Chains A and B, each alone.
Chain A
Amino acid sequence: MGKAFQRPEALAETHTHYCPGCTHGIAHRLVAEVIDELGIRDRTVGIAPVGCAVMCYNYFTFDFQEAAHGRAPAMATGIKRVRPDLMVFTYQGDGDLASIGMGEIVHAANRGEKFTTIFINNAVYGMTGGQMAPTTMPDQRTTTSPFGRKVLDTGMPMKIAELLSALQTPAYIAREALIKPKHINKAKKAIRKAFTCQMENKCFSLVELISTCPTNWGMTPLDALKWAEEKMIPYYELGEFKSPE
């Protein structure tokens, strides 16, 4: 009984600046583990977003580019078109992907650009201090929805996995969560499948990860996990939405 567990080579030793209990750290580790297991570190290029993960390049040990807010899918398109042999992924949050970057992700997915996107959905804008995101839940209080999100005024939360799955171009689209160990194990499988689709030059791939933001939700890390499970999972269904087969 028992097993070993080590830091993956693709993950740097640097201590992260993320808040205690922030699930960015889990997402980073899963991506790094998959990169190690697939043996692709020396041909991987990551693209960092603008958001809490703006400096995520400090936490990985392979080539990285830093994108302008929302533009990572365009940069990924540029790299992948001129160097199709490189393994390219973008790592983006709610504002980066679902707000300012909406045009870029939809078109990249629609063109079937063969890079992978890791989408961190924590229902809030973390880095800038907790403003409302397109993915914020109804009645959720944020610094720009102090009375709770009014859906009559700002609409319903955006379901990105479903939206992108409606495109006709083949893709691998999945949504998993970083809430309990069983979720995390499923998330890793999805991330691995996404990168494998890219290795096999099959299609665009995106894994949406339901994540927590204890600081801007005003909760302890454990309460944040509970809130995500009770409030987000019923709305943001988990599973594979689209597969290239």
Chain B
Amino acid sequence: MAYEHRIDKDRCKGCGLCVDVCPKNVLEISNEVNTKGYFPAYQARPEDCIHCAICCTMCPDVAIVIRELEEAEPST
């Protein structure tokens, strides 16, 4: 089963809750501001992501989603 983890960077308010709870230390706060003026979270080490969805649980803005990929569908 393959998954795609995506952060909507313009929905993210850079609160940092996801960064703190990630058990694999995948996430960090970006240096690039988004359209709202926040510094959003991003996957600094995506290869370590186990798609546990704890970051999704913690995010107050549902800025993070995880999609199940069809077989042979590449992750973008």
Contact = CB atoms under 8 A, between A and B. Distances in A.
Say if the two chains contact directly (CB < 8 Å).
Answer: yes
Contacts of B50: 1-2
Interface residues of B, number: 28
A20 B13 contact: yes
Nearest to B4: A4
A26 interface: yes
Interface residues of A, number: 29
Interface of A: 1-7, 11, 15-16, 18-26, 29, 180-181, 184-185, 214, 220-222, 225
Interface string B3-43: 10000000101111100110000000000000000100000
B52 A23 contact: no
B65 A6 contact: yes
B15 A21 contact: yes
A22 B60 contact: yes
B3 A181 contact: no
B8 to A, nearest CB: 9
Nearest to B11: A15
12 contacts: A2-B3, A2-B50, A2-B51, A2-B52, A5-B56, A5-B64, A6-B65, A20-B13, A22-B60, A25-B60, A184-B58, A221-B17
Contacts of A2: 1, 3, 50-53, 66
A20 B15 contact: yes
B14 A20 contact: yes
B62 A21 contact: no
